[in-house]
Amino acid sequence: MPEGKRAEMATILVIEDDLKILRGLEMNLKFEGYTVLTATEGHEGLKKAMEEPADLLLLDLMLPGLSGYDICRKVRERKPGLPIVMLTARGEEIDKVAGLDLGADDYVIKPFGVSELMARIRALLRRSEAKGKGVERYSFGNVTLDFKKYQADVEGKGVELSAREFDLLRYLIEHAGEAVHRSDLLDKVWGYDVTPTTRTVDSFVLDLRKKLEADPSHPEHILSVRGVGYKFVP
């Protein structure tokens, strides 16, 4: 699908209580061709996120009524494939990791450049559009993964994985047997190679091992490659 056509068709929900920032985002997004929905309060934003057909969510972290953290967690439970970008004035690493662990796809610190934000939105929409074109269902060991339905089973029992964990697994599986560098995972799965840090990749891999490996301390499938990154072995 052409870039311009995708922009015209995409709907973006912005949940932001700072009216100046909200109106600025709305104006720039509409200029780029997106349809824009807005909310200024947490409960209102969550309702729209659940009911409206948005293709991407721009989510402020600190909101009245319900925090961005809470909204992100609840949206991930109902719409695991919806791309989420968190907006915040706080730049501490702990905030980034917390937001990403809840399932956010990207993290932008205020004040941010409009051009950079638009580039990240386009990248997320491209990846969202591409999902499902690769591997859709995959099994290894006692694990069965359905990437289309975002379902994971271990020994026949459901295991909860975030959308980011599914994306990371999909990329490793599509490159089974290859040593994949951490920077490549940041670039291909997160969409850029500056932030989050490689420690975030390590954290996600550790969580995946705990959920999927029979013995997380001695993994058989998601292996570390010293000085490089990780390798998936079926």
Question: What does each of the 234 residues of the chain score in pLDDT, given as a tens digit?
Answer: 444 444 557 999 999 999 999 999 999 999 999 999 999 999 999 999 998 889 999 999 889 999 998 999 888 877 877 889 988 876 555 555 565 666 778 888 888 888 889 988 988 887 776 554 556 788 999 999 998 888 999 999 999 898 889 989 988 988 888 899 988 888 888 765 445 567 888 999 999 999 999 999 999 999 999 989 999 998
Q: Indicate the SS3 state at residue 169.
A: helix
Length of the chain in residues, anyone?
Answer: 234
- The encoded tokens of residue 165 equal 């964990």
Residue 147 DSSP code: T
For residues 72 and 86, give the distance between their C-alpha atoms in angstroms, rounded to a whole number.
9
Question: Quick one: the chain helix, strand, coil %, rounded to 5?
Answer: 45, 20, 35
- Burial (CB count within 10 angstroms: exposed 0-12, middle 13-18, buried 19+), residue 103: buried
For residues 200 and 206, give the distance between their C-alpha atoms in angstroms, rounded to a whole number.
10
Domain boundaries, the chain: 3-130, 137-232
pLDDT of amino acid 196? 53
CA 2 to chain centre: 23
Please provide the CATH number assigned to the domain covering 137-232.
1.10.10.10
What is the residue type of 137?
R
pLDDT of amino acid 4? 43
Distance between start and end Cα atoms, the chain: 33
pLDDT of amino acid 197? 66
Fold of 3-130: Rossmann fold (3.40.50)
Tell me how many helices (H) and strands (E) the chain has. Answer: 9, 12
pLDDT of amino acid 65? 93
Cis before 2 (ω within 30): no
Strands 106-109 and 84-88 turn out to be: parallel
pLDDT of amino acid 172? 92
For residues 14 and 63, give the distance between their C-alpha atoms in angstroms, rounded to a whole number.
12
- Helix 68-78 vs helix 42-51: angle between axes, to the nearest 10 degrees? 20
pLDDT of amino acid 61? 87
pLDDT of amino acid 177? 87
Q: Are 57 and 79 in contact (CB under 8 A)?
A: no
Residue with tokens 């709907």: 11
Of the CA atoms within 13 Å of residue 108, those in its CB half-sphere come to 21
